[in-house]
Structure 1
Amino acid sequence: MTKPVPTTVRATIALLLLGSLGLPLATPVHAHPGHDHPVGTPAPTADPVYGRGWKPLKDIAGGPRQEHSVAAIGADVYVIGGIVPGATGGVVTTDRVEVYDTRRGTWRDAAPLPVAMNHPNVAVVGDRIYVLGGLSGGTSWQALRDSFVYDPRRDRWQPLPPVPAGLERGSAAMGVHLGTIYLAGGMRTLTPGPGGLQDTVATVSAYHAATGRWTALPDLPEARDHVAGAVVGGTLYVLGGRDRGQVNVRDTVYAMDLHPRTRAWTERAPMPTARGGLAFAAVGDRIYTFGGEGNVVDGVNTVFGQTEAYDTRTDRWERLAPMPVPRHGTAAVTVGDTVYIPGGGNLGGGAPVAVHDAYRPARR
């Protein structure tokens, strides 16, 4: 059962519902006009229960955010793109970038993305943030080839050559190893709403940050989007996700040794809970997965609150304390030994919230 949400989320949901009445909401930027989709009915509300590794943090300063990506440079967590409440209701794609300073517990704005996008493919190489396409559009979100690199010292985005034609997608699993960014799966089209087209792909490719060269790798055994991905110990892991629809969730875990001579997919122990739209982050040899979408309760698509960890050494899963505020369409990143999880949606579909949590795994 979905757990209740706190007072701050109640205020957020009120903004979503009252936006059509002309109340002051932050005005986001569209890549294309006309992107206006309904927001779900609020869930029952109450205060969440923290503890067992979970800690509440300051809400996202700019307000609710969903279907964004995150990246960490030093002690700073960057929240990049996504969807936000529209000024006249529904949700719109944004170019906004906000930064959470984990040392001071404060938020600030950074230079916006040159192109507004949701589900951006984001990775860090060295001290730079790379965005290699994503989704954006009006009534139907389409894959973008636009790519950029961000220099945090100059607070500046620079254009990169576009993603090669045919490789563009959003919501891919991401990983970085020895200066190369890996993208696995993703989707080329997402039409929000019941029965909308969701064009999931099995494509796997690598981008060499130093040279700008793209390389094709063996496809995933099955297409996946809204999927978890991480590189641990020279192996790329792709966990869970979905295939052509929010409720078509999967529990599979695929792994590829990134050594050039052994690049082939193998299947590992499945997730305890099949989920799509989940957040994920690696801490040491373990990959932590949070929340997700596709939890069908009484015929209704709801969100998951599950927290589960995969041990890459033992090929085993562990169930951990659930999210105090269950949500999907969010993202997670590790700074030190703590995982930061800003934003997401607390209902199936588009329902952005500003909640920001931290999870600190128990020491082993």
Structure 2
Amino acid sequence: MRRGIALLLGAVLAASPALPAHAHPDHPTPTATATVPAAEPVYGKGWRPRAAIGQGPRQEHSVAAVGHRVYLIGGIIPDAAGGVETTGRMEVYDTRRDTWSTVAPLPVPMNHPNVATVGGRIYVLGGLSGGASWQALRDSFVYDPRTDKWTPLPPMPAGIERGSAAMGVRGTKIYLAGGMRTLTPGPGGLQDTVDLVSSYDVATGRWERLPSLPQARDHVGGAVIGSTFYVLGGRDRGQVNVRDTVYALDLRARRWSERAPMPTARGGIAAAAVDGKIYTFGGEGRHDGTNPNTVFSETEAYDTAHDRWVRLAPMPVPRHGTAAVAVGGTIYIPGGGTAAGAAPVDVNDVYRPAAS
């Protein structure tokens, strides 16, 4: 254990002071370059390809699982002008049949939506949207797969809205850590990262405030295992500020600690938990100044019981801006970008830890 830290819970939240936001000239201009690497992807060691996303490329989305189905929610897609646009489209992947279908779209288009599943229903608690500059939204909804309907929820309390937060669930509470209020794609784009930690109780509808993260983070991995909320990697106001930190919030004591760092510092990662381990995939950015637009293939797993990391077989198609979710011990990773900035693809890969 390295040093102390914190995350989310409480009554109606008061917003924490905004951190100064910085522009980064190295932030790439968004395009719709949906190209996968020229080399043929090499599968094996736990990796398998599955049916490509039915409606085409997607990036900066979220995923959720209900039963044997994976729901792909929001994000950005190529537009007719050769750029990208935010979408509310939701597609469903049937893990048993290897098929895609469309269902009712998110009522408000969002990228980087904050998504979690509780009691067989999918909750979306804010995200980002907009044109030239993506801004945080307070809009919140719950989706019932049985009726294929979205129901509006009261908006997030003013001052805590953000997208790209680390997410976790324990009981009836959804936890959110970090995120960003503003993301302006393109050279010099503003990236406003926050250290906010909060929780939403789906049973009572109450928001609570928890101790802030030790440092602000966005594009970060998150998971609750037992009574601990883990926040892994991410970045702080840009791809040149990616981090290897692992923060752990004791949800009973409401106290943060720092755990063994990630082997590879990166933001824009996907993360999913299986059997007490948190698996992290891909990502973007480099903090040593060599190439902030690096896209990673790294697959690294954190053993929460022993506080240690292990490197695993890399992603056959390196990606960032994707998302992961576990169904029956298999981790599903649809979409993402294969180049820095916006380069959405329709790739749909699965990783099975037991087969690696």
Residue 193 of structure 2: aligned partner: 200
Could you state the TM-score of these two structures normalised by the residue count of structure 1? 0.88
Contact 1:39-1:349 within 8 A present in 2 as well: no
- The 3-state SS of whatever aligns with 2:240 is coil
User: What is the correspondence of 1:208-227 to structure 2 with a 5 Å cutoff?
Assistant: 208-227=201-220
Contact 1:255-1:266 within 8 A present in 2 as well: yes
- The 3-state SS of whatever aligns with 1:255 is strand
Q: CA deviation at 1:337?
A: 0.8
Contact 1:307-1:320 within 8 A present in 2 as well: yes
User: What is the correspondence of 1:252-267 to structure 2 with a 5 Å cutoff?
Assistant: 252-259=245-252, 262-267=253-258
Residue 139 of structure 1: aligned partner: 132
User: What is the correspondence of 1:265-276 to structure 2 with a 5 Å cutoff?
Assistant: 265-276=256-267
Q: d(CA) in 2 for partners of 1:169 and 1:241? A: 15
Q: d(CA) in 2 for partners of 1:299 and 1:171? A: 23
Matched, 1:72 2:62: no
User: What is the correspondence of 1:116-155 to structure 2 with a 5 Å cutoff?
Assistant: 116-155=109-148
Residue 178 of structure 2: aligned partner: 185
Q: CA deviation at 1:247?
A: 2.4
Unaligned runs of 5+ in 2: 1-28
Of the three residues 45, 49, 53, the one matched with 1:56 is 49
Matched, 1:166 2:184: no
Moved more, 43-52 or 262-271: 43-52
Residue 14 of structure 2: aligned partner: none
Q: CA deviation at 1:160?
A: 0.1
- The 3-state SS of whatever aligns with 1:362 is helix
Residue 281 of structure 1: aligned partner: 272
Contact 1:81-1:116 within 8 A present in 2 as well: yes
Residue 26 of structure 2: aligned partner: none
Q: d(CA) in 2 for partners of 1:355 and 1:43? A: 9
- The 3-state SS of whatever aligns with 1:120 is coil
Q: d(CA) in 1 for partners of 2:240 and 2:292? A: 10
Q: d(CA) in 2 for partners of 1:156 and 1:355? A: 27
Residue 7 of structure 1: aligned partner: none
Q: d(CA) in 1 for partners of 2:166 and 2:177? A: 5
Contact 2:267-2:285 within 8 A present in 1 as well: yes
Contact 1:191-1:197 within 8 A present in 2 as well: yes
- The 3-state SS of whatever aligns with 1:354 is coil
Contact 1:247-1:293 within 8 A present in 2 as well: no
Q: Residues 44 and 178 of structure 1: is their aligned pair in 2 closer, same or farther, counting only changes over 3 Å?
A: closer
Unaligned runs of 5+ in 1: 1-35
Of the three residues 313, 316, 325, the one matched with 2:317 is 325
Q: d(CA) in 2 for partners of 1:52 and 1:41? A: 26
Instruction: Determine what percentage of the aligned residue pairs are the same residue.
Output: 72
Q: d(CA) in 2 for partners of 1:358 and 1:240? A: 22
Contact 2:194-2:218 within 8 A present in 1 as well: yes
Of the three residues 234, 241, 252, the one matched with 1:241 is 234
Q: CA deviation at 1:300?
A: 5.6
- The 3-state SS of whatever aligns with 1:310 is strand
User: Which one-letter code corresponds to 1:283 in the other structure?
Assistant: V
Q: d(CA) in 1 for partners of 2:95 and 2:303? A: 26
Q: Residues 109 and 200 of structure 1: is their aligned pair in 2 closer, same or farther, counting only changes over 3 Å?
A: same
- Corresponding residue pairs, total: 327
Q: Residues 136 and 58 of structure 1: is their aligned pair in 2 closer, same or farther, counting only changes over 3 Å?
A: same
User: Which one-letter code corresponds to 1:273 in the other structure?
Assistant: T
- The 3-state SS of whatever aligns with 1:305 is coil
Of the three residues 105, 108, 124, the one matched with 2:98 is 105
Q: CA deviation at 1:299?
A: 3.7
- The 3-state SS of whatever aligns with 1:206 is strand
CA RMSD of the aligned region, Å? Answer: 1.5
User: Which one-letter code corresponds to 1:45 in the other structure?
Assistant: A
Of the three residues 328, 331, 346, the one matched with 1:339 is 331
Q: CA deviation at 1:233?
A: 1.1
- The structure showing larger relative contact order (alpha-carbon pairs under 8 Å, at least 6 residues apart) is 2
Q: Deviations over 1:307-350 (max 9, x none)?
A: 00000000000000000000000000000010000000000000
Residue 20 of structure 1: aligned partner: none
User: Which one-letter code corresponds to 1:358 in the other structure?
Assistant: V
Q: Deviations over 1:277-308 (max 9, x none)?
A: 00000001000000001047954612000000
User: What is the correspondence of 1:292-331 to structure 2 with a 5 Å cutoff?
Assistant: 292-295=283-286, 299=291, 301-331=293-323
Q: Residues 41 and 157 of structure 1: is their aligned pair in 2 closer, same or farther, counting only changes over 3 Å?
A: closer
Moved over 6 A (4+): none
